[in-house]
Amino acid sequence: MKSGSRVVRNGRLVTGIRCTTGARTFYVVALDSTGKSSQSRPVKLACRTAPTPTPTPTGTPAPEPGGGSGVEDEVVRLTNVARVAKGCKPLVHDAKLRNAAQGHSADMAAKGYFNHTSQDGRSPGDRIKAAGFAPVSTWGENIAMGQRTAASVVDGWLNSPGHKANIMNCAFTHIGVGHAAKGPHWTQVFAAH
């Protein structure tokens, strides 16, 4: 958590922590400009057990590690199940694309908007390039808000012609998925070198 430290003045600091199998204790240490510190009371947190995912159909590999959370990995898996059923190859879960997707989901959640164009004017292509995925020959993006599970967001995309076209575009080879709990906001980024 120390690497996520930053200066906050009269504000709120929110951080994300990966789930572990057991409960862990967390606390906040605040340091003022004079060097005086104060520690919050400790809080014990544990992750809820996620539902067991449905088995992967034969011939559909599990997502490759892209640095995503369990729910993000499940979106990749379900997306690949749909693609393979229609004759496309499964997508590789890419850490750089995941960072682009996660950054956009977090930005939409924090700033209260829902759009493919960031409030600073960046397009999905701009965010993909900034994340270091290069060269980029083609890209696409799906966003969603309000769905509570990986299954419901993928189902929603598959029932929308434009979103489904991105999922079923066999030219895409890589994927990144970002999920922000507030909203919740979802971003699915597709690309190929």
Residue pair 97/128 in contact (Cβ under 8 Å)? The answer is yes
Q: State the DSSP code for 38.
A: E
Quick: pLDDT tens for 125-175.
Answer: 999 999 999 999 999 999 999 999 999 999 999 999 999 999 999 999 999
Say yes or no to pLDDT of 35 above 80. Answer: no
Q: CA dihedral defined by 51, 77, 68, 180, rounded to 10 degrees? A: -70
Cα of 32 vs its chain's centroid, Å: 33
Can you tell me the mean pLDDT for 118-123? 94
CB-side neighbour CA atoms (13 Å) of 18: 6
The DSSP string of 111-124 is: HT---SS-TTS--H
pLDDT of residue 56: 40
Is the pLDDT confidence value at 190 over 50?
yes
* pLDDT for residue 15: 56
